[in-house]
Amino acid sequence: YTINMEQLQLFEDLGKGTYGVVKRVLHKPTNVAMAMKEIRLELDQAKLNAIIMELDILHRAVAPEIVEFYGAFFIESCVYYCMELMDAGSLDKLQGAGVPEDVLARITASVVRGLRFLKDELQIIHRDVKPTNILVNTQGQIKLCDFGVSGQLEKSLAKTNIGCQSYMAPERIKGESQNNVGTYTVSSDVWSVGLTVIEIAMGYYPYPPETYANVFAQLTAIVHGDPPELPDQFSDVAKDFTSRCLQKNPQNRATYSQLLEHRWLVEDTARTVDVTGWVVRAMEWKRQQWNPKPEETIGGP
């Protein structure tokens, strides 16, 4: 039940995060393949202990739309976080392949169900919904990761997390500029869902590049500009869905129940969608971005 480094065999890096690398590992006692995230923190033992204890609630976050948590431990000033291995990685690296509308609707339905589960069952607000935090696998499953469960961890990470490409809702941006941290509600995540769906559809962050060349211009565009919309090739039902999320006034945004009752997601549940087929095509597209030659030496050391 408690995982430690001695039980793990380390393999290649799966990706680089803001705070450290994510590695593929094998948990030797159970023979389970996992992803291990390293988070470098300059904290004392007591604070690191508090983080490990706070992360324990993740053992209850078991749902088809949530990346499973296996355990966490720390060594010196690094927290190591072990979770379910998602063999196709995060959507930000696959979305450039182009996403058909039925796959987009299925991704959206999974994200909304996952967020509703976290809120209803665990009283957790995600706080960081974006394509990087949606993982997929070649079985066609779509799952959320990286949600805020540890107050101590969020506090320690927040200091370094002032990046461009903000998924924050307008009221959150306004609240932070007034140093008001109490403005975050569940509807702020609904805004991020809308922005994330549009980004996955377009293949890139939807606010125009001149706005994310500089953080201030970008935050101004989110607070004062019109919200982005889905491109024309998507259906009116889909466009209506994202506009229900991207209301600048949080009180006008749909709730999770309303989103799940929206025709776009109701129609999704009635369809068969070949997510695996899309994932396999998108991974091949991703591979060609890195290595335009045919596959030669994959898997060798």
Q: Which residues are tagged catalytic?
A: 128
61 near ligand ADP (CB under 6 A): no
Both structure tokens of 46 = 């007591």
Does 19 engage in binding with ligand ADP (CB under 6 A)?
yes
Of positions 37, 106, 113, 127, contacts ligand ADP by CB under 6 A = 37
* Residue whose Cβ sits closest to ligand ADP: 17
For 23, the enclosing helix (H) or strand (E) is strand 21-27
For residue 35, the minimal CB distance to ligand ADP (Å) is 3
> Of 15-23, 46-54, 58-66, 223-231, which segment contacts ligand ADP by CB under 6 A?
15-23
Residue with smaller CB distance to ligand ADP, 17 or 250? 17
d(CA 190, CA 159): 24
Closest CA to 115 of 45, 16, 38, 196: 196
**Is 146 a binder of ligand ADP (CB under 6 A)?**
yes
Contact call for residue 36 and ligand ADP (CB under 6 A): no
Count CA atoms closer than 13 A to 296's CA, side-chain side: 4
Q: Token pair of 196, please?
A: 């994330």
User: What is the per-residue burial (b if ≥16 Cβ within 10 Å, else e) of 60-88?
Assistant: ebebebbbbbbbbbbeeeebbbbbbbbeb
CB 104 within 8 A of CB 200: yes
**Binds ligand ADP (CB under 6 A): choice among 8, 48, 85, 201:** 85
* Residue 169 near residue 191, CB atoms below 8 Å: yes
CB-wise, 18 or 177, nearer to ligand ADP? 18
**The binder of ligand ADP chosen from 90, 156, 187, 242 (CB under 6 A):** 90
b/e map 4-39, b = 16+ CB within 10 Å? eeebbeeeeebeeeebbebbbbebeeeeeebbbbbb
Residues of span 218-257 touching ligand ADP by CB under 6 A: none
Shortest CB 300 distance to ligand ADP, Å: 20
Smallest gap from residue 92 Cβ to ligand ADP (A):
6
Query: With CB under 6 A, what is the number of residues at the site for ligand ADP?
Result: 21
| Choice from 4, 9, 10, 18 touching ligand ADP (CB under 6 A) | 18
Whose Cβ is closer to ligand ADP: residue 146's or residue 189's? 146
Residue 70's φ and ψ, nearest 5 degrees, are -105, -25
Interacting residues with ligand ADP (CB under 6 A): 14-19, 22, 35, 37, 67, 83-86, 89-90, 93, 132, 135, 145-146
